[in-house]
Amino acid sequence: MVMVWSAARALACACALVVGMAASMQFSPAGAQPARESAVREGFATLRTDEINGRSGPGRQFPTLWRYVRAGVPVKVVDATEGWRKIVDPDGVRSWVVASAVAPRRGVIVTDRAPAEGAALHAHPDNDSRTLALLKPGVTGQLGECRSGWCRVSVDHGGRTLTGWMARATVWGAEGDTVPTTPRVEAFAGL
């Protein structure tokens, strides 16, 4: 069989090739910068935005295991591939998120190890110093330095930022924290 290439057939094939290539590319508005890949390849970080899908593998083709709905939640990056980070959240859930969703900012979350009335944010790293606020489990904040069992933390409190010291045992996200060994939904395979 002999194929005859007419000008019309050649043009149709060229158009199909261009359309196919365009469909596989991601376009951004003119002048827009490509999405930044997080420099965080391991260690503690925070989630950059609300609405982040935690997937079973490093790619959009993998099912969503968990949906994170709050920016600022501390996570531990335990693995990295091109464009994706494997994280462990404060409850021990392991999932893959797109790398640009992970910010290098260090954060903490008040754990359920805090007293029932809340974890105290102190003016100084001392139980006898003035209490600035009582923070309930789940409150997140920015982490400063940690020393002698205390961490300097900044939290949003009613539209203003409070900075003080918290007992290291009442927060998760500081250096030395271990990854929980009994994850909350490790075996859960879909939403």
DSSP 8-state assignment for residue 14: H
CATH architecture designation of domain 109-172: Roll (2.30)
Is CATH 3.30.70.1150 correct for 43-105? no
pLDDT band for 19, please (50, 70, 90 cuts). very low
Query: 11 versus 65: which is more confidently predicted?
Result: 65
Phi, psi of 96 (to 5 degrees): -100, 135
Q: What is the rounded distance in angstroms from the CA atom of residue 5 to the CA atom of residue 110?
A: 70
Q: What is the rounded distance in angstroms from the CA atom of residue 181 to the CA atom of residue 178?
A: 9
Q: Please write the tens of the pLDDT for every residue from 47-64.
A: 999 999 999 999 999 999
pLDDT band for 119, please (50, 70, 90 cuts). very high
- Evaluate whether 43-105 and 109-172 have a shared fold: yes
What is the reported pLDDT for 17?
Answer: 34
> Could you write out the DSSP letters of every residue in 170-190?
GEESSTTPPPPSS-SSTT---
Return the domain boundaries, the chain: 43-105, 109-172
Q: How many residues does the chain have?
A: 191
| pLDDT at residue 10 is higher than 80 | no
Q: Which two tokens stand for residue 173?
A: 């996200």
CA dihedral 112, 116, 119, 123 (to 10 degrees): 180
The SS3 call for residue 8 is helix
